Amino acid sequence: MHTKDGIVKFKATPEGLYEYQVSQDYLKRISDHKAKQEQNNMVTLVEENMLAYTDWQITRAKRARSLYHTIGTPTVKNFKHMLKTNAISNCPVTTEDVTIAEKIYGPSMSSLKGKSTRSRPKPVVDDVIEIPPKLKENNKDIELCIDTMYINKVGMLTAIDRTIKF
């Protein structure tokens, strides 16, 4: 294989596959790079989100999030409705503060726990096929043979009809 650093040769294995052994230095650099990414991803997320807002907006968002947890973490929609209808008297928090808090901090973990429910399973579809009356009439006298068999020490019943071979 031709690369910008030169030609890389792959050697054949006894099984007929081709392989290339990378150096330990390369593996160490890759693992160090991944470790740095994992350390930085979660730490910089909120800080990066805060860069889009002023200090005053961040302070108000913190106040909104604190109030949100104080009243028991209702849904964001209900929380905004409470603020709009003045259900909390003399409240300095506005719906805009709540929106900014959601954009900076994301959804509150405590509000997510216990509120998500299992989705409804799909209903069972009844796929019964009606047997034509003529077929029922012609095959009302059947000779059914039943036997037992064991697969991996699990007993099962097998059955076959001698007349229609099914």
At 19-46, the pLDDT tens digits run 777 778 777 777 776 665 555 544 457 8
At 72-102, the pLDDT tens digits run 888 899 999 999 998 988 899 999 999 999 9
Ordered by start, the domain boundaries in the chain are: 2-43, 48-112
CA dihedral 53, 57, 60, 62 (to 10 degrees): 20
Distance between start and end Cα atoms, the chain: 60
Provide the whole-model pTM: 0.45
The DSSP line for 12-46 is EPTTS-EE-PPPHHHHHHHHHHHHHHHHHHHHHHH
Residue 150 confidence (pLDDT): 86
The three-state secondary structure class of 138 is helix
Which of 4-8, 30-34, 63-67 shows the lowest per-residue confidence on average (mean pLDDT)? Answer: 30-34
